[in-house]
Structure 1
Amino acid sequence: MKIIQTILLLLVSFTNPICHAGDWPQILGPYRNGHAAGETLAASWPSGGPEVKWQRPVGSGFAGLAVSQNTAVLFHRVGDQETVEALNAETGEVLWKQTAPVSYRGTFNPNDGPIAVPLIHNNQIYTFGIAGRLQCLDLKNGKVIWSRDTHKEFQVGEGYFGVGSTPIIVDDKLLVNVGGKRKHAGVVAFSLDRGFTQWQAMQDDASYSSPTSAFLHGRYYAIFITRLHLAGLDPKNGNVLFQFPFGKRGPTVNGADPVVVGNHVFATSSYGVGGFWGQIEQIGTREIWRSEKPMASQYTTPIEYDGKLIGIDGRQDIGTARLICFDPETRKVKWEENNFGYATLLEADNKLIIMKTDGTLVLAEASLETYKELASEQIFNSTTRALPALSNGLLYVRDGKTLKCLKLGADAPATPEKTTTN
């Protein structure tokens, strides 16, 4: 299993930002698949839960943090300002702050703050605000290098909840789920250094799913879920390499990210859409199955573990949600925890870190055989939607008012003193 994971991580790393050890520089971590690299976690927590290293108030928004080179980047809204803050990852000390005015008001949901996780690459930060402001900042001092008003330039509507898709870097381009259907700019590529438009493709609205990437058959694929499609694009020029219908018209959204498993891709959504399993072939890509069983997740991206998928089936707002592990080839459920509640997941050190939307943090074994909970603690007493970030044994979690830095890493064992024999 370790060998398979290593191969997959190496393939994914070809098209993702260069990371330092312990970094969590983008949505779902260094490889954009929910797996942490080189982390060693404690197998249990002390009474009262994990140690709180520091905490601080935050503004509105559901954007999780990104962490690189001991700098944690917080993206939130304070008053009428979309605010990016660089924090010392170990102490929470503010290193710099950059703000930009925003007038967005939530309609279907009262949230008016950013949803997309910041992206850190080569000492630059890329953020995508809730009203479509795309910008590049200097990681060291917060200076604005460039910015684009994508909603205005590409004639994008507000959508149900504003912008919620984190951009990705592939082939030295910033690829963004813009949603400029009227301008044939569903997906747009921007240059990293100046923010110039490189290409634009697809007549689609945006989704709340963040893209991923893969290196298969000797080429790069940028894999997007838009409002109504699952598509693979050539990052060099925007040519659509494959495309399948995915999603439904009406009051629905696509929120979970696509998951690459070998040369296969899995997508999931709720609202009567369900799951999709396809094979990416050198010439064409074929659909293998689509069904609401076993997984139809509202916005949680499942974790691939030794070829199987672990994630949430259900919705946060209606009905019940279960935690399941299943084989995407056969659709057979390996194990399930019914009435588990809605949650987001990460994996590190063969353990699952599960942040439930009711504010409960859970540590469990990453297993294909059974569900085994190792620890659980109520961290927040409010709805918690933001994705956690794990860096150097520290977990960064936030609800709508507070950001906490929790110690999850195992302390290194003491080195025994050397003895000499006379």
Structure 2
Amino acid sequence: MRFIQLSLLIIVCLTVPCQGGDWPQIMGPYRNGHAAASESLAAEWPSGGPNLKWQRPAGSGFAGVAVFQNVAILFHRIEDEEIVEALKADTGEVLWKHQSPVSYKGTFNPNDGPIAVPLIYKNRVYVFGIAGHLQCLDFKTGKQIWSRQTHKDFQVGEGYFGVGSTPLIIKDKLLVNVGGKRQNAGIVAFSLDQGRTLWQTMPDDASYSSPISAYLNGSFVALFITRLHLAGIDPENGNILFQFPFGKRGPTVNGANPVQVGRHIFATASYGVGGFWGEVKVNSTSEIWRNEQPMSSQYTTPIEYDGALIGIDGRQDVGPARLVCFDPATRKVLWAEENYGYATLIEADNKLLLMKTDGTLVMATASKEEYKELGRAQVLNSTTRALPALSNGLLFVRDTKSLKCLILNNSGESPVTPDKSSSN
């Protein structure tokens, strides 16, 4: 059973409409790491790894691409400009380009490019730059429709690594992890048409976690992880429906997205924070457990599979990191691959695609019974933090040097010969 929650499918239909094979937002069509049911992957790869469809240079930043109707949106930085580019997904041809100035300089990390994945919705593209520049662009032309300088508007500091949370759309509102704690604007709702402030709530700094939409007790709830809380927000008015302490002060980061499993919520972070498992009932919420075991993930969001959670336990920067599958209700580890290395995950066609930060792509069976590897290939040559995207059998992966499009379906297409000028 690929999903145990029909509610997730309902949420997608009402919030981010997409066609089979689209990947219009962070972590895919359902915002949970699962690809569309129509995706079909080859059972094995050629001896040299997946065939390369095309590749091109990319600037700085860790933002993965979003894909809609055979158009891939790349968000990166070159010199002193943040650049949004629309590319034909099957060829890499540039359809349009939008540029805006940026002066952010990395402090704790040398990265100075955007981290938040673009969001595509109803012929518009929403991007959230590393210095808080929130923009709405026309999907067909790249023309700017509106923009907000959220750091200036809500008195937000730069944070450890700049902005890293992808906005969420519920009905007619763009919900953003802004971090304007001085103005009770930790979370802000903007109108989709003009970018007007509709409401603001919570005196919290921002995190690097992206919010999700959950259907709980008969209504839609926006689940946010801020700097210090896991909160359920009423998207209509910003009322805080429930909140739990989550995170620590000091040099820590909340990076993984919350995960809904039925009426339960899971959250995870490293830095001594650990995992959290709670339950949301009609008239009450409760914390069931909180512990560093079995999962304390620095920024990888685990994937729910048949009631279990599969993801990375550990950190990229200091290690070790293991791949682990566990039952969140009991905390029982079902299987684990020790010293696996850090990675981000996609589930498609009952297979796991794991993009490791050392540039290795791995394919394995999606199972809570065992880990079975099906393929492994070195596809990038430098540190790879950007989330991969899968659309109609094409996998988009990038580091800070290049964006590559790999063929993972059964099309039988032969590899292209890459242009030497665009290779790593």
TM-score normalised by the shorter chain: which range applies? over 0.9
- Give CA-to-partner distance per residue, 1:292-339, whole Å, 9 cap, x none: 000000000000001110000000011200000000000000000000
Specify which structure has the bigger relative contact order, considering alpha-carbon pairs within 8 angstroms and separated by 6 or more residues: 2
The residue number in structure 2 matching 1:10 is 9
The residue number in structure 1 matching 2:109 is 109
Q: Which moved more, 1:277-286 or 1:11-20?
A: 11-20
Q: Take 2:322 and 2:140, find their aligned partners in 1: how far apart are those partners?
A: 42
Q: Take 1:126 and 1:167, find their aligned partners in 2: how far apart are those partners?
A: 8
- Give CA-to-partner distance per residue, 1:377-415, whole Å, 9 cap, x none: 011121100000000000000011010000001238xxx
The residue number in structure 2 matching 1:196 is 196
For 2:15, what is the secondary structure of its paired residue? coil
The residue number in structure 1 matching 2:135 is 135
Structure 1 residue runs of 5 or longer lacking an equivalent are 413-422
Q: Which amino acid aligns with 2:98?
A: Q
The residue number in structure 2 matching 1:416 is none
The residue number in structure 1 matching 2:374 is 374
The residue number in structure 2 matching 1:402 is 402
Q: Which amino acid aligns with 2:8?
A: L
Map 1:5-404 → 2, pairs under 5 A: 5=4, 7-37=6-36, 38-404=38-404
Shift of 1:5: 3.8
Q: Which amino acid aligns with 1:134?
A: L
CA contact (8 A) 2:7 2:215 kept: no
CA contact (8 A) 2:179 2:186 kept: yes
State the TM-score, normalizing by the size of structure 2.
0.96
CA contact (8 A) 1:15 1:169 kept: no
Shift of 1:58: 0.5
For 1:300, what is the secondary structure of its paired residue? coil
Shift of 1:20: 1.3
Q: 1:319 to 1:405 in 2, by over 3 A?
A: same
Structure 2 residue runs of 5 or longer lacking an equivalent are 413-424
Q: Take 1:406 and 1:170, find their aligned partners in 2: how far apart are those partners?
A: 32
Shift of 1:11: 3.5
Q: Which amino acid aligns with 1:304?
A: E
Q: Take 1:173 and 1:281, find their aligned partners in 2: how far apart are those partners?
A: 25
Q: Which amino acid aligns with 2:6?
A: I
For 1:187, what is the secondary structure of its paired residue? strand
- Give CA-to-partner distance per residue, 1:318-361, whole Å, 9 cap, x none: 12000000000000000000000000000000000000001000
Q: Which amino acid aligns with 2:31?
A: R
CA contact (8 A) 2:319 2:341 kept: no
CA contact (8 A) 1:16 1:31 kept: no
For 2:72, what is the secondary structure of its paired residue? strand
Q: Take 2:411 and 2:114, find their aligned partners in 1: how far apart are those partners?
A: 35
Aligned length: 412
Q: Which amino acid aligns with 2:209?
A: S
CA contact (8 A) 1:171 1:236 kept: no
Q: Take 1:12 and 1:338, find their aligned partners in 2: how far apart are those partners?
A: 35
Runs of 4+ residues over 6 Å off in structure 1: none
The residue number in structure 1 matching 2:417 is none
CA contact (8 A) 1:14 1:215 kept: no
CA contact (8 A) 1:15 1:215 kept: no
Q: Take 1:291 and 1:8, find their aligned partners in 2: how far apart are those partners?
A: 28
- Give CA-to-partner distance per residue, 1:362-388, whole Å, 9 cap, x none: 000001110000000011121100000
CA contact (8 A) 1:59 1:78 kept: yes
Q: Take 1:16 and 1:367, find their aligned partners in 2: how far apart are those partners?
A: 29
CA contact (8 A) 2:126 2:134 kept: yes
CA contact (8 A) 1:209 1:225 kept: yes
Q: 1:15 to 1:244 in 2, by over 3 A?
A: farther
Q: Which amino acid aligns with 1:222?
A: A
Shift of 1:283: 1.5
Q: 1:354 to 1:8 in 2, by over 3 A?
A: farther
Q: Which amino acid aligns with 2:28?
A: G
Q: Take 2:113 and 2:375, find their aligned partners in 1: how far apart are those partners?
A: 31
Q: Take 2:178 and 2:21, find their aligned partners in 1: how far apart are those partners?
A: 30
Q: Take 1:385 and 1:19, find their aligned partners in 2: how far apart are those partners?
A: 26
For 2:283, what is the secondary structure of its paired residue? coil
Q: Take 1:138 and 1:171, find their aligned partners in 2: how far apart are those partners?
A: 19
- Give CA-to-partner distance per residue, 1:34-64, whole Å, 9 cap, x none: 0001100001100111010000000000000
Shift of 1:16: 2.9
- Give CA-to-partner distance per residue, 1:262-299, whole Å, 9 cap, x none: 11000000000000000011122111000000000000
Q: Which amino acid aligns with 2:174?
A: L
- Give CA-to-partner distance per residue, 1:144-199, whole Å, 9 cap, x none: 00000000000000000000000000132000000000010000000001100010
Q: Which amino acid aligns with 1:44?
A: E
State the TM-score, normalizing by the size of structure 1.
0.96
- Give CA-to-partner distance per residue, 1:212-264, whole Å, 9 cap, x none: 01112111100000000000000000000000100000000100000000110
The residue number in structure 1 matching 2:418 is none
The residue number in structure 2 matching 1:420 is none
| Percent of pairs with identical residues | 73
Shift of 1:6: 6.3
Shift of 1:8: 4.2
Q: Which amino acid aligns with 2:398?
A: R
